[in-house]
Amino acid sequence: MDGTTARPTARARSWWGWGWTDAHPGDAECVAMGALLPGTLARPLPVPRVRDLDVRGPAVEAPQSLAHLVSADPADRAAHAMGKAYRDVARALRGQPGRIPDLVARPADEQGVADLLEWAGDRRIAVVPYGGGSSVSGGVEYRGDAHRAVLSLDLTAMGRVLDVDTAGRAARIQAGALGPGLEDQLRPHGLTLRHFPQSFEFSTLGGWLATRAGGHYATGRTHIDDFVQSMRVVTPAGTSGSWRLPASGAGPSPDRLFLGSEGALGVITEAWMRLQERPRHKASAAVAFSDFTAALRAVRDLAQSDLAPANCRLLDPGEAALSGAAHDGCSVLVLGFESAYEPVAGRLARAVELARSHGGRHDGSTGAGRGRGEAPAGDAAVSAWRAAFLRMPYLRDGLVRMGAVAETFETAATWDRVPALIDEVRGEVGAAALKATGHPATVNCRLTHVYPDGAAPYFTVLAAGRPGGEVALWDDLKAVAGEVLHRHRATITHHHAVGRDHRPGYDRQRPEPFALALRAAKGALDPRGILNPGVLVD
């Protein structure tokens, strides 16, 4: 995905589900999908309407000086009540969304953010920073009742690229820039951030930074963290601005404390980001493996080589079938190379050869793109995977309308843990779903990012629901998965963030002295505890 797709104007965002309403599958497509999953409903649940919700009036009113930044519109508020996790969509479909914020604020600049925080601090109002709203871990939802009111702080009115340093390949970008708008503003300079998470259209730079998002690159510098030159963060204790530096050894990195802070320590307002020239050379290929374990070894060797593929995604047989990359029970390795400087066909050929040495089969067809940011023409499996990748969240919501449990989660672990980890997640989550529903479930896996020392397995779970009890069923299945992750000391999240949903796993994973330090830092920066309460620390 390259941000070049022309976007029709005036498309409507869904308040309850993924993305654009006009991209949602219709009832007939929902029924067709449901038919493939035993135990789902015969008819889809109706699309939920805000007017059917009991949206009470806001508990507070903004002062005159801030009124122009604030909306109390019920539809606006409902659309900011939750992120887009399975449990969010399922709750909305059942007419039981999370707590609807009292107000939505859209500051236009850093001073507006500071003013809103000051007002909220004085009034004990919880402030939930909100970018594109694509959180899949309960990161933008208020839970509890310790605050007088809840303010959703929507940053998307701050979406400009403010400065571009062409020679130094960097840009100062406001935190509320959504992916496509950000790339649109960089394109005239011949530069790109090249951060393309699945949520690209519906997530912001600030959200990526606050959650340590993973993006385009499957190897090397996979997380947004590595592309940060400096950041500005508004906290109730003052505004933090780090210097633009290519590197520094002066004490612990200030930026690394705010990266991953998920709105609990401050509100990121802008960052100088490291950019790249747009790639002029691309090549891709798909390699099939009969033996998933052999494929894992091939991918490990690739990650430990100096080939540095931009894409190196291994789909297990179920995932390959689901995305249309293969239907013969094979695993598929999707490889992609790109460079702004010189042809990459040689690197692709070496990678394919390496995969072959582990039993991979490649029919000889490769895709090569040359031009300004076009998606490469790949062979059929690559194209199928790419199209499915972007359509997946919409289809997920269609399945949820059929009463299914349909969700993903991800982790990362060292290579010695990866094979058993994948087996046990598939086995134990599948068994738990079968026991709970009486129907076999689908539990697929792909590796989204790979490293010399390990990999990030990404799981898809599709199961029949329990009418009215889908969310509790999912929570149970997720708890089973969490136990497997903990047993293998695999991280509770590689790039989906902690939010509120991953707190139990995060609290077990985080070293206790670091928890002490983080709580102390939170107390110093947010002494009244208004910033995204419940995220990371209590």
Residues 383-412 that bind its own copies (CB under 8 A): 412
Site string for its own copies, 287-326 (x = CB under 8 A): -------------x---xxx--------------------
What is the four-CA torsion angle of 521, 527, 531, 535, rounded to 10 degrees? 50
CB of 334 to its own copies, least distance (A): 19
CB of 527 to its own copies, least distance (A): 10
Q: Is 166 exposed, middle or buried (0-12, 13-18, 19+ CB in 10 A)?
A: exposed
Q: How far apart are CA 415 and CA 411, in angstroms?
A: 12
Task: Out of 290, 345, 491, 528, point to the residue binding its own copies (CB under 8 A).
Answer: 491
In terms of CB distance, is 87 or 496 closer to its own copies?
A: 496
CB of 254 to its own copies, least distance (A): 4
CB 294 within 8 A of CB 416: no
Does 242 contact its own copies by CB under 8 A? yes
Instruction: Considering only residues 51 through 70, tell me which ones interact with its own copies, judged by CB under 8 A.
Output: none
Task: Out of 401, 494, 500, 501, point to the residue binding its own copies (CB under 8 A).
Answer: 494
Task: Out of 496, 500, 501, 531, point to the residue binding its own copies (CB under 8 A).
Answer: 496
Does 16 contact its own copies by CB under 8 A? no
Task: Out of 223, 282, 396, 478, point to the residue binding its own copies (CB under 8 A).
Answer: 223
Contacts of 437-444 with CB under 8 Å at 24 or more apart are: 437/39, 437/463, 437/464, 437/465, 437/466, 437/473, 438/39, 438/464, 439/37, 439/38, 439/39, 439/463, 439/464, 440/38, 441/405, 442/37, 442/318, 442/322, 443/318, 444/315, 444/316, 444/318, 444/319, 444/322
Instruction: From 374, 7, 373, 344, select the one nearest 190 (Cα to Cα).
Output: 373
Q: Looking at residue 402, what DSSP letter applies?
A: T
Does 426 contact its own copies by CB under 8 A? no
In terms of CB distance, is 165 or 424 closer to its own copies?
A: 165
Q: Which range, of 146-154, 156-164, 255-263, 420-428, touches its own copies by CB under 8 A?
A: 255-263
Structure tokens at 484: 């497997």
Instruction: Considering only residues 461 through 490, tell me which ones interact with its own copies, judged by CB under 8 A.
Output: 489-490
Q: Is 350 exposed, middle or buried (0-12, 13-18, 19+ CB in 10 A)?
A: middle
Site string for its own copies, 438-457 (x = CB under 8 A): -----------x-xxxxxx-
Does 280 contact its own copies by CB under 8 A? no
Task: Out of 339, 389, 423, 424, point to the residue binding its own copies (CB under 8 A).
Answer: 339
Task: Out of 341, 364, 435, 468, point to the residue binding its own copies (CB under 8 A).
Answer: 341
Phi-psi region for residue 373, left (φ > 0), alpha (ψ -120 to 50) or beta? left
CB of 220 to its own copies, least distance (A): 9
Task: Out of 113, 164, 186, 213, point to the residue binding its own copies (CB under 8 A).
Answer: 213
Q: Which range, of 121-129, 241-249, 319-327, 468-476, touches its own copies by CB under 8 A?
A: 241-249
Instruction: Considering only residues 151 through 170, tell me which ones interact with its own copies, judged by CB under 8 A.
Output: 165, 167-170
List b or e across 428-461, with b for residues whose CB sees 16 or more CB atoms inside 10 angstroms: bbbebbeebbeeebbbbbbbbbbbeebbbbbbbb
Instruction: From 494, 533, 439, 473, select the one nearest 197 (Cα to Cα).
Output: 494
CB of 357 to its own copies, least distance (A): 13
Does 529 contact its own copies by CB under 8 A? no
CB of 537 to its own copies, least distance (A): 9
Does 501 contact its own copies by CB under 8 A? no
Q: Judging by DSSP bridges, how do beta strands 170-174 and 367-370 pair with one another?
A: unpaired
DSSP for 272-300? EEE-EEPP-EEEEEEEEES-HHHHHHHHH
Does 239 contact its own copies by CB under 8 A? yes
CB of 312 to its own copies, least distance (A): 13
Query: Looking at this protein, which amino acid is placed at residue 519?
Result: R
Q: Which range, of 108-116, 192-200, 238-246, 321-329, touches its own copies by CB under 8 A?
A: 238-246
Q: Looking at residue 16, what DSSP letter applies?
A: S
3-state class (DSSP) for residue 24 = coil
Does 517 contact its own copies by CB under 8 A? yes
Task: Out of 40, 198, 199, 229, point to the residue binding its own copies (CB under 8 A).
Answer: 229
